């Protein structure tokens, strides 16, 4: 299967600090890939490069067949519509209801009629298992787990080709954590026919091993291990063994 994203000898420096240290890898299309690693390993920086929110110091990034260095600011903004993003904080508009949050990108970027928007939002809300009682509440009236679902539904609204999740379960209780992880997996499964690619940054090892196809372990901007879940579990690398025993 083709890769949705490839990095070739990507280096990122901030001053004297090398945050991404000569990364070469591909993220397979249509699969769930999870990046694990301790805080400060460079995970979020890697994701920012995929979105073109920052540029590499050297090296090449090709995303959905596009060489990122060829895109200017306007091109990048257009390009980012291929991505759905779910971050640690749901980042919902707090003055809009759950329904209006999900409708927002549809109103902003499509010419759908009101009746079509309603239908689409309702189907997105159902896909992330948000009960109708919550659709017209404000984010402040929803639990953390429910806000995550709204964020996920909104990220899916424009039918992205790649879903990016940066620590989507941070700050959630264990049950919500499991629900959100399962939602990542069910979202990928429901969109498998259109080869939705999912890239997840997580600190939740157990959930990652459960839902992912591939796992990458980053440390100090370098790849320590990148393999299937089975390969990762059986890794003999002492860093991975220690990490798995935590
Ligand atoms: N804009 C920036 N300027 C300077 N240093 C940065 C910047 N962004 C990240 N870093 C540094 O890069 C390293 C990796 O950060 P980050 O990618 O956020 O790690 P992770 O997401 O794995 O916790 C950290 O040491 C962080 O301090
Ligand atoms: Mg981070």
Say if ligand 1 is within 6 A of residue 39 CB. Answer: yes
Residue 160 has pLDDT above 70, yes or no: yes
**Does 98 sit in the ligand 1 pocket, CB within 6 Å?**
no
For residue 123, the enclosing domain spans 3-245
Task: Give the CATH number, domain containing residue 205.
Answer: 3.40.50.300
Ligand 1 atom closest to residue 54's alpha carbon, by position in its atom list? 1
What's the rounded mean pLDDT across residues 55-79?
96
Q: Is 139 in the pocket of ligand 1 (CB under 6 A)?
A: no
Q: Are 66 and 54 in contact (CB under 8 A)?
A: no
Q: What atom in ligand 1 is closest to the CA of residue 45?
A: 17
Q: Reply yes or no on whether the pLDDT at 220 is more than 90.
A: yes
Residue identifier of the C-alpha nearest atom 25 of ligand 1 = 40
Count structural domains, the chain. 1
C-alpha distances (whole Å) from 225 to each of 37, 40, 78, 175, 236 are 10, 17, 33, 29, 10
Residue 52 in tokens: 């073109």
- pTM for this one? 0.94
pLDDT at 181 exceeding the cut of 80: yes
90 falls in which pLDDT band (50, 70, 90)? Answer: low
């Amino acid at each position: 299967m083709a890769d949705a994203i490839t990095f070739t000898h990507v280096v990122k420096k901030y001053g004297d600090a090398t945050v991404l240290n000569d990364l070469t890898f591909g993220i397979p299309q249509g699969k769930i890939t999870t990046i694990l690693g301790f805080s400060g390993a460079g995970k979020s920086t890697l994701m920012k490069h995929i979105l073109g929110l920052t540029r590499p110091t050297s090296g090449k990034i090709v995303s959905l067949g596009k060489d990122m260095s060829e895109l200017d600011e306007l091109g990048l903004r257009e390009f980012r519509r291929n991505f759905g993003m779910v971050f640690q904080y749901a980042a919902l508009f707090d003055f809009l209801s759950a329904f209006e949050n999900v409708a927002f990108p549809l109103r902003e970027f499509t010419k759908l009629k009101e009746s079509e928007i309603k239908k689409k939002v309702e189907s997105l809300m159902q896909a992330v298992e948000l009960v109708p009682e919550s659709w017209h509440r404000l984010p402040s009236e929803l639990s953390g787990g429910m806000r995550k679902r709204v964020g996920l539904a909104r990220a899916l609204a424009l039918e992205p080709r790649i879903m990016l999740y940066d620590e989507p379960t941070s700050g959630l209780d264990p049950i919500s954590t499991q629900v959100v992880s399962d939602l990542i997996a069910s979202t990928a499964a429901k969109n498998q026919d259109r080869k939705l690619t999912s890239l997840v940054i997580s600190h939740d090892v157990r959930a990652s091993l459960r839902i992912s196809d591939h796992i990458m372990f980053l440390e100090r901007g370098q790849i320590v291990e990148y393999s299937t879940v089975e390969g990762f579990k059986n890794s003999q690398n002492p860093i991975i063994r220690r990490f798995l025993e935590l």
